[in-house]
Amino acid sequence: MTFGEKIKNLRKSKHMNQTQLANAIGVSLRTIRGWEIEGRYPKQHDLYQKLADTLGCDVSYLMTEEESFITEASEQYGSRGAKQAQQIIEQAAAMFAGGELSDEDKTAFMDEIQMLYLDSKKRAKKFTPKKYLQNENENPN
């Protein structure tokens, strides 16, 4: 079951419409529709907790390993990081299509790929010229 299907089923079991859920967690109706219909994910980790609290479920039910990876990449590296994380997941899934690996081996592989991606992004940041890095104390005007 996808993230969107989980949200939709839980929302309906609570007799809530999309607008009510959006208001309860502080997002737009468009955001809820994006999750349920378009296959999008929350960009901030705290939204998973708000959803879980509102819908009466555990965060781990809502968030798979892939969704956690995409959210972490998004929080650290913005929309570009989220897109890259999504591509990594899709390309790795394509590698497994019709394959012979066990689920345990697939999970181990995905964990390593995700760790390598996040580690390489941190290392690459060290080599980014200072003029491209924003100082937290500066006001970009």
Q: What is the pLDDT of residues 57-92, one digit of tens each?
A: 988 788 777 777 888 888 888 888 888 988 888 887
Measured in whole angstroms, the distance separating CA 126 from the mean position of its chain's CA atoms is: 25
Quote the pLDDT of residue 112.
87
Query: What span, in angstroms and rounded, lies between the C-alpha atoms of 42 and 22?
Result: 12
pLDDT tens digit string along 24-56?
A: 999 999 999 999 998 888 878 789 899 999 999
Structure tokens at 86: 């999504």
Report d(CA 42, CA 45) in Å as an integer.
Answer: 7
Q: Which residue has the higher pLDDT, 86 or 16?
A: 16
Q: List the alpha helices (DSSP H) in the chain.
A: 3-13, 18-25, 29-36, 45-55, 59-62, 65-96, 103-126
Is the Cα dihedral 56, 61, 66, 69 positive or negative?
positive
| pLDDT over 90 (residue 120) | no
CA distance 50 to 42: 11
pLDDT at residue 140, rounded to an integer = 44
> Whole-angstrom Cα distance, residue 1 to residue 21?
20
Find tokens 């819908």 and name the residue.
55
Percent of all residues in the chain with a pLDDT value above 70, rounded to a whole number: 87
DSSP, collapsed to helix, strand or coil, labels residue 123 as: helix
